[in-house]
Amino acid sequence: MTGMQTATREPDWKSAALLTGGFVALLWVLEVVDLATGNALDGYGVQPRSEEGLLGIVFAPVLHFGFDHLVSNTVPVLVLGFLTLATGIARGLLATAIIWFVGGVGVWLFAPSLSNHAGASVLVFGWIVYLVVRGFLNRHTTEILIGVAVFLLYSTVLLGVLPGQPGVSWQGHLFGAIGGFLAARLLTRGARRGAEVTY
């Protein structure tokens, strides 16, 4: 009788750390490429209601307008991206995809014409709302505690969904946050129905 070898699975927190770290590394590599090419990548942001601006729905969250912009997003992406993935890689990736899409489409439809929007803050705002709402909808103690901690740390950041600061895409923040709320509702509903998804 031959023995069966059991496949070992990496804990979600390890995978979450690797994925989040890899994503941030990608952001920095792209900004170096952008600098080396005379900011050639900046044109791939969301440009509302233009055909070429549709590409920004895909590319804008990984592009930044300079290193100051990227630095301001790096720590929130590391913290919130990790927390989003740590309690379930599949669910966290799906939540991120929903935020990415809703944020990009919302900006493309409703932001002012002749503007260009890029930056990972659309994900940051989506992750904040997702993490805060998710725990209360799931009624899971760990997720509630994470949501409370995120709210205490980032509640003032959420004021960025309001207009007022020149050069800051409050539309991206707002629609990212809406995407985070929708992700929490949709994924919680799926979990309550008993869908066969491993988180």
Contacts 24+ apart (CB under 8 A), 161-166: 161/125
Architecture in CATH for domain 12-192: Up-down Bundle (1.20)
Tell me the whole-structure pTM to 2 decimals. Answer: 0.88
User: CA-to-CA distance for 100 and 123, rounded, in angstroms?
Assistant: 6
Count CB atoms within 10 A of the CB of residue 153: 13
pLDDT at 165 (0 to 100): 79
pLDDT tens-digit profile of 83-95?
999 989 999 999 9
Task: Determine the residue type at 17.
Answer: A
**Domain locations in the chain as residue ranges:** 12-192
pLDDT tens-digit profile of 126-185?
999 999 999 889 888 889 999 999 999 998 888 888 887 778 899 999 999 999 999 999
- Report the mean per-residue pLDDT for the chain: 89
Tokens of 56: 């920004």
